[in-house]
Structure 1
Amino acid sequence: MEIFLKLPSREEIIQPVVDFIYSLSVQRGFSEKEASELATAVDELITDIVLFAFGEEEGEFSVNIRESPSAVEIIIHELGEPFDPNRHTYSVEKAVKEGNFDGAGFKVIKELVDDFVYIYRGKAGKEFRIKKEIKHPHITELFTQEELTLEPEKAVSYQISPVTEEDAEDIARLIYRSYGYSYPKEDMYYPDRIVRILKEGKKFGVIVRIDRGEAVGYFAVIMSTDSNIGEVGEVVVSPKHRGKGIMKMMMKALIDMAKARGLLGLFGEAVTVHTISQKVNAKYGFKSTALVLGFFPYIEYKGFEHKQQRISVVIDFLPLKERAQVNVFLPRRYAGILKEIYSSLGIEAVNIPVREKMKPTGKTELNLIMNYRFKNAVLVVEEYGEDFSSRIKNSLQALEKKKIKGVYVDLPLDRPFTKKAVEILREEGFVFSGLMPLFHSERDFLRMQKVYEPLDFDYINVFSNTAKKIKRLIKREMKND
């Protein structure tokens, strides 16, 4: 869920906002102490904005509250006086000797929450991001090690059924038994988080049990938050029950369920440590559309030799609704590969020429999606403005200071300025990533990427011919930069 508040910079609004944050936090699973800590951090921040950001003038600021099963993120944006918190660091020595408490507020906030990020956006103002995680019991706190590692023996038969909230503990146990602590989606180790996301309808899936009732397979689709597509993003088969056709059974059921729900498409993020998941996706009609470099932190995959570097993924997409043709603005340097990707999806891409030099007006609309744990950020361009270049530069500078490992920019292919935007991003060190079909608001996007750690392409394994062409293009661009 996402809540957006637009507020005047007046002292009388501070307490109602803080009270709302506190109440919402308790409702979402925080203890009273944790909710109080988050509310205090927000209180400290918006008080500073109201009292100091606009001087004698009255201004406005926005509060955007984003929730997930594991955390609450609060994004505060304002257009007040320029301010650099890095120049206002708290010093105990200054406080004692000089009575100078400059920077104390930010220090308090950092101690109360899990993540606190400041992003300077130039003329678009300042953005503060506060994130606090919800403490749920880990599956290892609920069961003994023997209960978690006991492997179901041979089965007479397998039964598949839709996942329900009652399956949450069995799913978490299955994940732990199969992956130990290495499964990248940490929420899957917390039954309470699984229950919540199922209850809210943010995912659907299937579970496979043997004749004695023990769970040996699980596969789910996570619904996109801003488009009518889903990710086949959670899958596990118990080690002793692999090779029995369980994966095939579950994939077929999920595709049928997705079609029945009216989804426009499904996508998968297949790791490039091995090609197994890519081959499975290809078997069911998924087509490779992008190669996203260094998207996940390094994880050791048992049974596979791979270099200790960040994990790249291939985006595989399965259309569920026919689109015979799309009219798009294809950047010249990528027109060929994008047409080929579209063709693999059964779509004819008609390139719209830009006959006149078109300059966007107004302000650029950017949606920043940060993954604090994975240390990456996705910038979604919703609309271009005349400040596009400066917005990108300011965002990059802010993210680099936060030691983000990879920045990915999604450019809308239904806007003519995308042809120019590609060249602006190339000057900033970005390279091609691929097509993200229907990824935001049922629109197609071109993804560009910039990674900040070296990658050995010999350990980035791709399966399909299209993925191999994308990999060669990216490697060539990175070599020439």
Structure 2
Amino acid sequence: MDEVLNFIIAAYPDDTLKELIQIKLSLDKTGTVQVSVSNAGPPVHLDRIPRFEPSAPTESNLDGLWYFLAKNFVDHLEFRNLGMDGWQAVLERRLSAASFEPRKADSEGSIDEEIAQFEVRPGRHDDAAELVDLTYDTYGYSYTGPDFYHPSNLSHHLASGEIVSIVATADGVIVGNTSISYPPETPCCAYLGALMVKRSYRRSKAIELMISETVAPAIGNRP
């Protein structure tokens, strides 16, 4: 990948918005990794790439060293002409000891609400990292509160009281959260965030407990 990307980037004549690189990686059930690199840079002419000869290297064929290294490291390397969509470099390599299992469905491994023991408490500034993980687990990168993707920002807002969180924990691990934000520019308004619950706890009573705590009259000692 290093050699191929260096070749592609070095070939760009200038910086334009069209010159974008997209990288996709896939792993199939046979343990073969495929990496595709798509770009809108100049056309690739393999017949113009010098053929590097390791037994007799010369200044004239040294420019082909990258292709020699890339091609001999992977099981398959090719450049595909995508027409008006540019070019795509495809690299494939079979892993010697691939070990992976498909993820279980969300419904599998759910926590029985009769077994789970929850504690509901106010969120603390040192909960920020766990809350960021919970945000991703619940919403991916679609949650509307950007601070919930930056632990340092979230920690600051929790410490200052600009964000008040109610978290549900199970065995000391945060499994649910609901938050209220108090932006300093609108001191008379508060904004209730969407609920977050770890996948395996979505059939439990964690949501009910957090809602009950959220509507309490003295949440976070804020009016």
- Superposed pair shares fold, TM > 0.5: no
The alignment's TM-score, normalised by the length of structure 2, stands at 0.40
Q: Which has the higher strand share?
A: 1
With CA pairs under 8 Å and 6+ residues apart, which has the higher RCO, 1 or 2?
A: 2
